[in-house]
Structure 1
Amino acid sequence: MSVTVRSLAGPDFDAAIPALANLRIKVFRAWPYLYDGNPAYEEGYLARFRHADRAFLAAAFDGDTIVGAATAAPMAGEAAEFRGPFERAGFDTSKIFYFAESLLLPAYRGQGAGVKFFEAREAHARSFGSYSHAVFCGVVRASGHPMKPETYVPLDAFWRKRGFDKLDGMTTAYSWKDVGAPEETEKSMQFWMKQL
């Protein structure tokens, strides 16, 4: 399967929002996020990348079909849940670029699109000449969680190969509704960082 990765902006971004919302729901429904999403919330969430200063979105296409996406934006404009741990630790968030998500349908993994997503976001962040670091975070689940697939392989090795290191002790908490759960619950998120 041949996949092309390109950035989306303006009308192209607007046209892609419904497909991107469905992609987020589908990919994040799986382990380890187990996210029970809804299209209306997702479309509102994605719209902020259309209007946020210096925000970035790249999509992976198989023909005209979106099969993956990655987003990024300056940390200074992110929610307090993401900014707060860095502010409390003495980091200058105006120099940090936040990589919000990197999504790819399972059939398209392992073919280079994930690497292209990181490269595209890093190039975008570097293009401004004022950001020193890139960060992202990933959910932390209990190793004995009943919904964890036996075949699951964490992405730690992939992230380290991209040059990111786990920031020990740097976590945040974020809430969402798990698949099959009656209400939202708080999840622990671990930060990773790379010097640009």
Structure 2
Amino acid sequence: MAITVTSLVGEEIKSILPDLARLRIIVFRDWPYLYDGTIEYEEKYLAKLAAAKGAVCVVARDGDMVVGASTAAPMVEHADEFAEPFENAGYDLDKVFYCGESVLLTSHRGHGIGNAFFDQREAHARKLGGFTYSTFCRVVRPDDHPLKPKDYRPLDPFWKKRGYAPVDGLVASYAWKDIDQNEETEHLMQFWVRTL
């Protein structure tokens, strides 16, 4: 594999949005997100990312093909649902850098791209300056969920190795439509945090 990983900022991000939408729909359809995504929703959601001051999109390519992408932006530029738990817990939102999705095709996992995604997003936060914390969140699902694959391995060890840890009580709620549901439902999202 001739994989390259590069960071896009500002207007450059717009060029990758169709690929990012495609990857989000493919990757998040799997456990644990079970997201039944649409291009229409993705276009709206990602337009906000592209307009966010200080945003970055880290892109993995295999030759010319986009096989993965990872986003981040200052928390003050992200959804209110995600900022609220931090405000309630006494964090200064101006000091929190939010790492959004990391989506990577299964065919390209296990080659260090996940580390590159975190490396470049954290480096971007340090370059912007003023951030004390880096954070991301993951969906909370019950262990006995009927759609959980028997061979599922959570990414917790990887995240802990990167210095992140879940923070008790730092939980948001976000709605989307699951692949086995007829309408959107709320999902709990647990935040993991590390100091930069």
Q: CA deviation at 1:46?
A: 1.5
Contact 1:27–1:103 at 8 Å: present in 2 too?
A: yes
1:24-64 CA-partner distances (Å, limit 9, x unpaired): 00000000000000012112212222221101111100111
1:111 is aligned to 111
Distance 2:79 2:151 in 1: 33
1:5 is aligned to 5
Distance 2:33 2:159 in 1: 17
1:75 is aligned to 75
Which amino acid in the other structure matches residue 103 of structure 1? V
1:87 is aligned to 87
1:54 is aligned to 54
1:14-163 to 2 correspondence within 5 Å? 14-163=14-163
1:147-186 to 2 correspondence within 5 Å? 147-186=147-186
Contact 1:49–1:57 at 8 Å: present in 2 too?
A: no
Structure 2: tracts of 5 or more residues without a match: none
1:71-115 CA-partner distances (Å, limit 9, x unpaired): 001111221210001101111010000001111111111100000
Structure 1: tracts of 5 or more residues without a match: none
Contact 1:17–1:46 at 8 Å: present in 2 too?
A: yes
Q: CA deviation at 1:11?
A: 5.6
TM-score, structure 2 as length reference: 0.96
Contact 1:75–1:94 at 8 Å: present in 2 too?
A: yes
Which amino acid in the other structure matches residue 83 of structure 2? R
Distance 2:193 2:130 in 1: 16
Q: CA deviation at 1:168?
A: 1.5
Distance 1:179 1:61 in 2: 28
Contact 1:58–1:69 at 8 Å: present in 2 too?
A: yes
Distance 2:6 2:43 in 1: 20
CA gap of 1:144–1:124, structure 2 versus 1, over 3 A, is same
1:127 aligned counterpart, secondary structure = helix
Identity of aligned residues (%): 53
Contact 1:171–1:189 at 8 Å: present in 2 too?
A: yes
With 72-81 and 148-157 compared, the bigger mean Cα shift is at 72-81
Count of aligned pairs? 196
Contact 1:5–1:60 at 8 Å: present in 2 too?
A: yes
Q: CA deviation at 1:12?
A: 4.3
Contact 1:72–1:99 at 8 Å: present in 2 too?
A: yes
Root mean square deviation, CA, Å:
1.2
2:128 aligned counterpart, secondary structure = coil
Distance 1:31 1:169 in 2: 23
Which amino acid in the other structure matches residue 117 of structure 1? F
Q: CA deviation at 1:14?
A: 2.5
Distance 1:52 1:79 in 2: 11
